Amino acid sequence: MKAGTLSFKETFFIGLMLFAIFFGAGNLIFPLSLGQAAGTELTLAIIGFLMTGVGLPLLGVIAIGMSKNEDVQSISAKVHPLFGLLFPVIIYLTIGPLFAVPRTGTVSYEIGIAPFLPEGLKTTGWGMLLYSVVFFTVTYLLALNPGKVVDRIGKILTPVLLLILAALLLQNIISPLGEITVPLAAYEAAPFFKGFQEGYLTMDTIGSFVFGLIVINAIRSKGVDSPKQIAKVCTTAGLIAAAGLGLVYVGLAYSGATSVQAIGHLENGGLIISQISSLQFGLSGSLILSVAITFACLTTSIGLIVACSSYFNKLRPSISYKQYVLGLTLVSALISNVGLTQIISFSIPVLVAIYPIVIVLITLTLFGSLLRNRNAIYTWSVLLTGIVSVVEGLGAAGFELGISDVFARYLPLYSLGMGWIVPALVGCVIGFALSMRQSSYALENE
């Protein structure tokens, strides 16, 4: 092996680490719900889901690897300096203490722990409170030393998680609970686009901006400094993680699709997987489920706390990394006690508003060299995308604006939740034209 390069084994473990950090609470429950709802339209629905749940996160990691040490702040600053300060904070809060991290604790409790507790502990809330103390204490202790994240997550926790999931999914594939049934209305009308939007709930495309930096730091810690080699390892590790995620998602979606005849349509993926495991394996299935969810959620929680603490420590070094770890972990633990349904409900409008902006930033970063990083393109693409996505986000929160009717009437794909695509392309054209005009004006005045 050449100096400054990594062996495939080292790259593979970094890929496993990335898979483990990506694969958390939402990744386990949302594909199951999609499978039940999509029914016979499962193929198109899962393709849409895989685009936002696997494809775009992979592109996000590759974009960070290719961006020559740029992070989400420097990329966002190409839109506007103020945007470069505010948008990364929104991203880190979204995938950190406000939504994603609390969800890891709540999901692992409500699905993996609560079924084994006495009714008194569950109904009074004491069970969740006690569990959150244990869960987030472990998160805090493991997040204190981020240099060991690769070893702890990639080499220990991930193989255990994969073995448990493999046993569960193989049983569902070999001996499904029933035939695939007809789809629900939303998936019957537009299965691909509905699946695409369901992928938002995993938050993985947003997280890819953050997780890409974890991969880069892990690569550098092993003596690799060449930007070309870093980009290569990021791409390979990202493909390893994407392959693992894709296989698990397809297996979970199929398990959900074949479960309707046996358990009916249930309101969330947590109930679905609990019922499937119980029918397939009895009590042992419930125990397997408990372990799988705990590992999946714990690994994601650790990775997100590490990433958020590192970012805020860089933003304001006067507060130490350990203090940020403690503060963010405490906030996450408190919010987790609100409950899974409430956390998901509060997160949907935010995700609808910011997800298209993140997708546009990832795309522009990937083509940065081709576009010569013309800031006007970033500014106009994100501006027009943001106008539409924020209106959609407000609509998802129950605030219907008059302009929504105008968008629905004249904007292509708006009714499918993809109305931001045309504005993003128009913004790109406007930004390119303005940047060319500015370049021409500068040459004329030299």
| φ and ψ of 144, to 5 deg | -65, -30
The pLDDT score that the predictor gives to residue 7 is 81
CATH topology for the 8-346 domain: Amino acid/polyamine transporter I (1.20.1740)
In this structure, the chain runs to a length of 446
User: CA nearest 354: which of 90, 50, 176?
Assistant: 90
Q: How far apart are CA 273 and CA 283, in angstroms?
A: 13
Q: How far apart are CA 347 and CA 26, in angstroms?
A: 12
Tabulate helix, strand, coil % of the chain (nearest 5).
Answer: 85, 0, 15
| φ and ψ of 186, to 5 deg | -60, -40
Q: How many CA atoms lie within 13 A of 247 on its CB side?
A: 12
CB atoms within 10 A of CB 215: 26
Tell me the pLDDT of the chain (446 aa) as tens digits.
Answer: 555 677 888 888 888 878 877 877 668 888 999 999 999 999 999 999 999 999 999 898 888 877 765 678 888 999 999 999 999 999 999 989 999 999 889 888 888 787 777 877 777 778 899 999 999 999 999 888 765 654 555 566 667 767 877 888 898 889 999 999 999 988 998 899 999 989 998 888 998 887 777 788 778 878 777 777 888 888 888 899 999 899 999 999 999 999 999 999 887 787 788 788 888 888 777 787 787 778 778 877 887 898 889 889 989 999 999 999 999 999 999 999 998 778 888 898 999 999 999 999 999 988 877 776 688 999 999 999 999 999 999 988 888 888 888 898 889 989 888 999 999 999 999 998 888 877 655 445 55
> Residues with Cβ < 8 Å from 45, sequence gap 6 or more?
34, 37, 38, 183, 187, 191, 192, 194, 195, 198, 253
CB atoms within 10 A of CB 396: 16
At 185, the amino acid letter reads A
Q: How far apart are CA 23 and CA 57, in angstroms?
A: 12
The pLDDT score that the predictor gives to residue 56 is 92
Q: What sign does the dihedral 86-87-88-92 (CA atoms) show?
A: positive
Phi-psi region of 138 (alpha: psi -120 to 50; beta: other; left: phi over 0): alpha
In angstroms, the Cα distances linking 259 to 177, 182, 253, 272 are: 5, 12, 10, 8
pTM of the predicted model, to two decimals? 0.86
The pLDDT score that the predictor gives to residue 14 is 84
The pLDDT score that the predictor gives to residue 370 is 74
Domain borders along the chain are 8-346, 367-446
DSSP string of 47-100, one letter each residue: HHHHIIIIIHHHHHHHHHHHSSS--HHHHHTTT-HHHHHHHHHHHHHIIIIITH
Q: Is 58 in contact with 249 (CB distance < 8 Å)?
A: no
| φ and ψ of 201, to 5 deg | -65, -20
User: CA nearest 329: which of 303, 349, 350?
Assistant: 303
CA 340 centroid distance within chain: 17
Q: How far apart are CA 159 and CA 146, in angstroms?
A: 20
The pLDDT score that the predictor gives to residue 51 is 94
